[in-house]
Structure 1
Amino acid sequence: MKKNQKSIFVCQACGHRAPRWMGRCPECDGWDSFLEEREVPSRGQKALDLQVFPMDSIPLDAEKRIRTGIAELDRVLGGGLVAGSLVLIGGDPGIGKSTLMLQTLAGLAGMGKEVLYVSGEESVRQIRLRSERLDAVRPGILVAAETEVERVLQLAESRKPDVLVIDSIQTMFSPELSSAPGSVSQVREATLRLMVFAKRIGIPTLLVGHVTKDGAIAGPRLLEHMVDTVLYFEGDRNHVFRILRAVKNRFGSTNEIGVFEMQEAGLREVGNPSAVFLAERPQAAAGSVVTTSMEGTRPILVELQALVTGTGAGSPRRTIAGLDSNRVALLAAVLEKKVGLNLAGHDIFMNVAGGVRVDEPAVDMGVVAALASSFLDRAVDGKTVVLGEVGLTGEVRAVSHLETRMGEALKMGFTRCLVPFSSAKRIQAPDGLTLEGVKTVEDAMERLF
């Protein structure tokens, strides 16, 4: 090692730098996460002629979005790709990230765009084979298998594609750094260079990122701050549905979601998620309740399923999928205190059918109704939708976008809507839908059972 190059130790979990090896990272408390890397000395910066622009003279390039041809992806992005934007897409292995990218590029190429797909994990023949299965072979798609970021930038500079995809960012490396591909330094350096290139040339760049066992995108946390948009591709590999969710978006809302169905020929957009999630709903089954959740501007009807049964052990089990387990425990306590249902000695299992996750407080009444239905072994009317936020004293609080939620319920064939009283008195129910307002959890139980 040269004299002017120092050795440093970098935590591979959070990027913390230390002059010597440490067993435990003081920043993230991770054990055995430090690796030795070579510190490249600064070369100094050349004097640059910086230009200053009056605010009102800057062109609005961000308004000229590039449509991808996939409506669900465009919805999550806020209307399409923005020129010069850097988009990071993360997800579990095998969830469909590369499939989504190939289908996106096929849609762009079908609209006359020239796109570049750079893979650091597959050969060009493997990419062609997978594209044949997805029916994503288009003459406008350029494919390269490369891991050196400088060579990728040279190729992109010479071809100047309309959209660039890097799959994946963890495989990219710079020979100027001694650390291995996927290390904190390499991921940070590759992302920085791609970000500078995207902003300078104005090419939308999509980065595919792996996730750790904790569900976070691998690499330094700084990575999510460097990019313009962070998307997570979620779903259980045992379910056919995939949810594309934005957790950061400088050019749009982070409340929108895109719903896809994984099929043999790739991902298929789900234009009406409510119909899909309710397709296999059992009729007149105790513990099954339909509620509605707002995902951005889109209302989605989901089925909440609860199973309350006597426990055979000393400590009752609480197994929750698709909902906040702490919130379910709170609502069970409210139900026991205000209605008198003895849930403390029972196991509680709850699930959102279809593998979707719901975090909105407006589904509280649906959770309460499902728990009571299973405990009492009495089914809720199959044409009833239940929604409302529940407080600790048992009151039912108002929810937003009630008109939009009711419109979705009416479209799906429901005829009755149990909602907070304060919300019901402010609006008029559409024809064909009966609106019933409730003030407390006790009142709701009387109307449902």
Structure 2
Amino acid sequence: MKNTMQFKDKKVLILGLAKSGYAVAKLLHSLGADITVNDSSPENGNKEAAELRADDISVICGGHPIGILDEGFSLVIKNPGIPYTNPVVMDAIKREIPVWTEIELAYKISEAQIIGITGSNGKTTTTTLLFHMLSIGKKRPLIAGNIGTVSCSVAEHATPNDVIVLEASSFQLMGTETFRPKIAILTNIYDAHLDYHGTSDAYAEAKAEITNNQLEDDFFIYNEEQEAVREIAMKSRAILIPFSVSEKKEIGISVDETYIYWNGTPFINRSIIKLPGQHNLENILSATAAAILMGCNKDAIEDVLASFTGVKHRMQYVKELQGRKYFNDSKATNTLATKSALAAFDVPTILIAGGLDRGHSFEELRPFMGNVKAVVALGETQKRFAEFASSCGIEQILNAGTMEDAVRLAHALSEVGDVILLSPASASWDQYVSFEVRGDAFIEAVMSL
């Protein structure tokens, strides 16, 4: 960690406790800042609040008091999930008090170079692929950010010999001022989180923060096949590394049916790649380009591409049983993600889908239902999804009450050579506390067959 004095005696308000708020409070307290933590949840049973108080850190729970900023704060660091319509955040902006998320703090204290990765889809898979490539290539990577590890905690212990591979959400990027990764990756942009950002343009502007502070000696790896991403790249000052998944290009990283090309030269034969799906080529090319720029040898990259079968709950290969292959794509909480999953297979597929009913249409899936020979529907959207599947001409449609029943029914409907895919196109909260818990239930059900 850099020997920084910029936070000493600085009065900082931390909005939202959770894992990141707790880590920020502990770090800034150790750097001599005057900390107040404010969380909307009740204090009863809040272990983190009690621990911070034991360190003489002020904690206010149970709501956001009006006028809290009257105490003279010079910085607000908020939980990424707290919207900018929050009264305290709006008041801070009105008072021209900087509002950060913790990845800005991580950047300011880090002695290690940072590779920042964002995009609507593929962030976690790209981050994980690159982490493994750098690990095998002996580049001392540390994984951080939206993938589940608090960035500032990682940066606190990073050395100049390490490299931080940081997955950044649009929520996190909005709260940055000077954040400047040595390598930035933007996998793609699709409309998402519009309830938070308000408009598609505002969402794209948040994603653009991954490269806005980069300079001429940095690198920006980007999806040149999307106009919204190309527009961001045109404004970047970094060295541009475009990727293309549709055809061979002479600049950047690209593919044809046989090879991955680096600046037009064959680099890796695609036949070794284990991770299925056209959409995963975006992730593979992004990670491979970053690994090349970091000096990874070809063998390290090939080792990962030949063995990596997916991040847990994201098109994760579970196992083959009696000639059927099982895939866990519980992270597919919307139709966009399920479209990509269905497009990954050209064999008969039994689709397990359904979950929390937000009233979203499933129509986007229609062009991708051609290989779906049977559907097992779950959750609140069970009836709607079954009706949609029927309208697509699918005759084998069953309803299930539990994941164990769904897996058992799907197996009974399947034949040798089929894929059984959990890709719900719906959130999990009607039956499970998270998509991870839902995915674990699927894995457990498969293993118990």
Larger of the two Rg values belongs to structure: 1
Which structure has more strand as a fraction of its residues?
Answer: 1
TM-score w.r.t. the length of structure 1 is: 0.25
Q: Which of the pair has the greater relative contact order for Cα pairs under 8 Å at 6+ separation? A: 1
TM-score, normalising length from structure 2?
0.25
